Amino acid sequence: MYIHEGNARFFIDQNFYNIGPGDLILVPPNTIHRMILEANNKIVTTAIFFSKYALGNVMSASQSVFFSLYEHSRKKRNINIV
């Protein structure tokens, strides 16, 4: 999920993070997560849902770096807000 505008708290894998414009959040499969907005706050995001298996055949070698980061995060349960 990419944050375009606004601020919120993001709960993921038993931790809270303050998020805002420019942040990118990768959520591994089967990970509990939730965005929490304060009253009257608005946030603009873009969320992309995908399967590496569905996209694997159409991705170039340079794009496979993205999948390796995703897999590392999924296996190690290492959650980072970029």
- 3-23: per-residue pLDDT in tens? 999 999 999 878 899 999 999
* E strands present in the chain: 2-5, 8-12, 15-19, 33-36, 44-46
pLDDT of residue 70: 62
For residue range 27-54, list pLDDT tens digits in order: 877 788 999 998 888 999 998 876 666 6
